[in-house]
Amino acid sequence: MEKIVINGGKPLFGEVTVSGAKNAAVAIIPAVVLCDEPCRIENIPNISDVSLIANILQDMGAMVRRVDKNTLDIDPRPINTWEATHDAVRGMRASYYLLGALLGRFHNAKVALPGGCNFGVRPIDQHLKGFAMMGAHNELVNGAVIESTTSGSFHGARVYFDTVSVGSTINLMLAAVKAEGQTILENAAKEPHIVDLANFLNSMGANIRGAGTDVIKIRGVDYLRGVTYSIIPDQIEAGTYMAAAAATRGKITIRNITPKHLESISSKLMEMGCEIEEYDEAVIVDATKRPLNRVNIKTMPHPGFPTDCQPQFVALLSTVKGTSIVNESVWDNRYQYVSELVRMGAKISVEGRLAIIEGGKLTGAPVKATDLRAGAAMVIAGLVADGTTSISNINYIERGYSDVVTKFQSLGADIKKIYLPDHKHIATTA
């Protein structure tokens, strides 16, 4: 068992460099399945989700070589199966992107229903609806989705998404890249990693227009050439360090970021009283000069406030005097972590999609990560709290944050990862 242990109460100061975007990496790596030549993917975050999806491709026959911790060489040409049903596939949500990639390449796909963080019902009905409109037939057999087409029947279509969905937008993009004719995706999601995926596919020779707007047009092509491509910085990792700087009342410089991707986060921190300085690829967050103010937040699809930063900001607002209200409009059950913050003394009540937060003091306690971003919230709370906080289930945190302990140590945090091999020994590892 591994845990993160934090002795809180120290403001963060210094510089930290953000890794490549997790959400872009777990879409771009499956997209390599569509390519007709080898690819090199750079600026990949060193996280367990990336290792898992790379291993899944390798198990399917792809040649995968790790050049260094942030670079992968992938040759998809040896893949000769359109099935991905082993247990590793069930271990991460983004493995469902293999449906679109395999359907686009082979016009058939069989992929196990995925796992990942459990914070609400996340149906794939919009994915299946789009595949069906493109000529695929779907069925569920023994916990796996099977998509099949008759020869020559997979084609472009006009697909209107009933709800804005990042996953279905990405999956239909992948499926459409090599489909015959034109596909038009309406009410599409606009997140930065969707634009990054489109840029990657276009660099290989795809014909995608409109990514980043609510209408994406894709005209199918026959061949995709190999490229070297660098993934965008991770806006959620950047937002997490921004929230941590504010919560600890510190001042940090965050490098390797895209300021435009952080506008909704920066504006909330400025509303709270933080000073924000933006540069071409860096942002400075300064929370040392005045008391912070309460704010209300409503999560929204991009360019609104990201749901993936909601738990981190609830942890932050738990330290800010006054009553703040957070409205989670994206997921229906993302407050499972609140009981863990309450263990630390946070005063939070949840009513449906609303969290009502009375700011005050936090005290260290044993807590657990209930999902990826909730784990980040526990880290932020531990950095602020009086005393010692130990966080279990840190595998969730390591799914999406590269070198998180080392990075916080570089900012002056008293944080370490410990390994508990049995009940008798405790040995530090970081």
Of 185, 214, 230, the residue that ends a domain is 230
Give the pLDDT score at 429. Answer: 45
Annotation says 117 is catalytic: yes
Boundaries of domain holding 65: 22-230
Do residue 35 and residue 106 come from a single domain? yes
CB 320 within 8 A of CB 292: yes
Determine the Cα–Cα distance for residues 57 and 319; give it in Å rounded to an integer.
Answer: 44
Active-site entry in 35, 117, 274, 309: 117
Q: How many CB atoms lie within 10 A of CB 202?
A: 16
Domain boundary among 189, 215, 230: 230
Taking 80 as the threshold, does the pLDDT of residue 320 lie above it?
A: yes
Regarding whether 190 and 262 lie in a shared domain, the answer is no
Same domain, 294 and 370: yes
State residue 270 phi and psi, 5-degree precision. Answer: -65, -40
49 and 160 belong to one structural domain: yes
Calculate ∠ Cα 152-154-158, nearest 5°: 140
- Judging by DSSP bridges, how do beta strands 144-148 and 137-141 pair with one another? antiparallel
Q: How many separate domains does the chain show?
A: 2
In order of 29, 266, 324, the CA distances from 356 in angstroms are: 39, 22, 6
**Annotation: binding site:** 22-23, 93, 122-126, 308, 330
Q: Decide: helix, strand or coil at residue 31.
A: helix
Average pLDDT, stretch 205-209? 98
68 CB-near residues (< 8 Å, 6+ apart) = none
CA distance 237 to 196: 16
At 340 the three-state DSSP class reads helix
Residue 96 has pLDDT above 70, yes or no: yes
Task: Extract the tokens encoding 275.
Answer: 């000073």
In tens, the pLDDT along 212-241 reads 999 999 999 999 999 999 999 999 999 999
Instruction: Read off the pLDDT of residues 256-301 as tens digits, 9 standing for 90 and up.
Output: 999 999 999 999 999 999 999 999 999 999 999 999 999 999 999 9
d(CA 73, CA 67): 7
Check: CB of residue 389 under 8 Å from CB of residue 367: yes
Query: Which whole number is the average pLDDT over 402-420?
Result: 96
- Encode pLDDT of 156-191 as tens digits: 999 999 999 999 999 999 999 999 999 999 999 999
Both 196 and 275 in a single domain?
Answer: no
pLDDT of residue 67: 96
Give the pLDDT score at 120.
44
Banded model confidence at residue 428, pLDDT cuts 50, 70, 90: very low
- For 172-184, give the DSSP string: HHHHHTTSBSEEE
Question: Do residues 104 and 149 make contact, with C-beta atoms less than 8 angstroms apart?
Answer: no
- The residue with tokens 């700011």 is 359
Q: What residues form the annotated binding site for phosphoenolpyruvate?
A: 22-23
Judgement on whether residues 191 and 142 belong to the same structural domain of the protein: yes
Q: How confident is the model at residue 115 (pLDDT cuts 50, 70, 90)?
A: low
Residue 78 pLDDT exceeds 60:
yes
Q: Is the pLDDT of residue 198 over 60?
A: yes
Residues at the binding site for UDP-N-acetyl-alpha-D-glucosamine are: 93, 122-126, 308, 330
Q: Is a pLDDT exceeding 70 seen at residue 116?
A: no
